[in-house]
Structure 1
């Protein structure tokens, strides 16, 4: 088991890519904290998984826009489990609005969750991992961290920031035994796409040379690799999990 004996925190872990990543880590022997908003499905999902995986899953409420909550998440996890070997910095939201119609409030909210929140979690993780002498942080970026797309100014700004911040954190943490990487998912078949009609789904599929949407477990597998010792010489990079989207047009 690749994660046996390791403790993992997954933010935004109550659904979609986050939940798939939680389960993959449990399957590989880790103990996992689902961190998500109070009132999310996180408590129920953790209870279900805790029953199935020998008491190795728990839920902690955390809003990544609140530094006190983020710091408490790590403090409580260390107090209960003893350490944090890996973090999937996955919490985030989307947003599609023409740039001339985006309000300050909406722009800043997307930045605060998708970029500032990633930094808050990474900062708290680094403090713990530096004391331990090692660990792995994986940030969730996006294809839109390296490509532009109309009507997503705040989202692309945030995800582009995540990509470059990952490089910087990877360099900074390398001599202290901590690796920092990112994943850049393409369009993934999760509940976030359920509101789209068939034509829109087909349009998204057509953007991927592989001719389909990604699956949450495929992103989870990438996280598992980067979090594990198998990626021991990998840091400061973004692994695209996008069916060829960012490779270019076919």
Structure 2
């Protein structure tokens, strides 16, 4: 039970990487509060509480966080995992509307999450925050302008928070998945997926569970000497 008696908040937890992490954290003893906009009707996991959360709405964040504090008294782990690609267009072609949507979900969402949770973590002098970035928060990619910009911002926002709140006993790290078999990837043009897999040294898609175990390590006390770090799980994509 690597997360025994810990309270975790996970966004984007209804499917993909988030769902795999919800299941793993619950299995490892955490009380898990899973947040998303839409849940399947049969979504039910022992030890897991559902919340409807729009990560782009700070008032919604405050309500959900206060509900968790009222119920469990604290939040030990925040996993800002919700994200979207939405547009594959470059800077010249992406619509202004799509740009703002992607930035709102991928970049402002984790900012709101940290802003809502940090006061409670600071009050007890501990906490682990994990922010999902991407391989494209480290390496460049053609097109996908808003996605790459937002994920690079998450990488450095995590470092900023790590250095700002280290004296409060709070650790902040980013996790950088490669191409993972999720509903978001399943929905994209297969040619894009095949192209990324072809230049991934392991020559395959990652599994959501492989990212979940990385998040588990960062959430647990096993990573107690890690903050401001980047955990890359990408099949070797960023190695060259």
> TM-score band (shorter)?
over 0.9
For 1:64-213, list aligned pairs within 5 A: 64-94=55-85, 95-196=87-188, 199-213=191-205
Corresponding residue for 1:19? 19
CA drift at 1:43 = 6.4
* Matched-pair contact (CA < 8 Å) for 1:8–1:31: yes
Contact 1:35 1:59 in 2 (8 A): yes
- Greater fraction helix: 1
Question: Aligned partners of 2:29 and 2:135: how far apart in 1?
Answer: 30
- Flag the 1:57–1:151 CA change in 2: closer, same or farther, 3 A: same
- When residues 141 and 43 of structure 1 are mapped into structure 2, their CA distance, relative to the original with a 3 A threshold, is farther
TM-score, normalised by the number of residues in structure 2: 0.96
Looking at structure 2, the residues matched to 196 and 169 of structure 1 have their Cα atoms a distance apart, in angstroms, of: 33
Specify every segment of 5 or more residues in structure 2 that has no aligned partner in the other structure, as ranges: none
| TM superposition score normalised by structure 1 | 0.92
What do the CA deviations read for 1:140-196 (whole angstroms, capped 9, x no partner)? 000010111111111111110000111110011110010000100000011112234
> Aligned residue for 1:36?
36
Residue 200 of structure 1 deviates from its aligned partner by 4.1
CA RMSD of the aligned region, Å?
1.3
Per-residue deviation at 1:215?
0.6
1:203, distance to aligned residue in structure 2 (A): 2.1
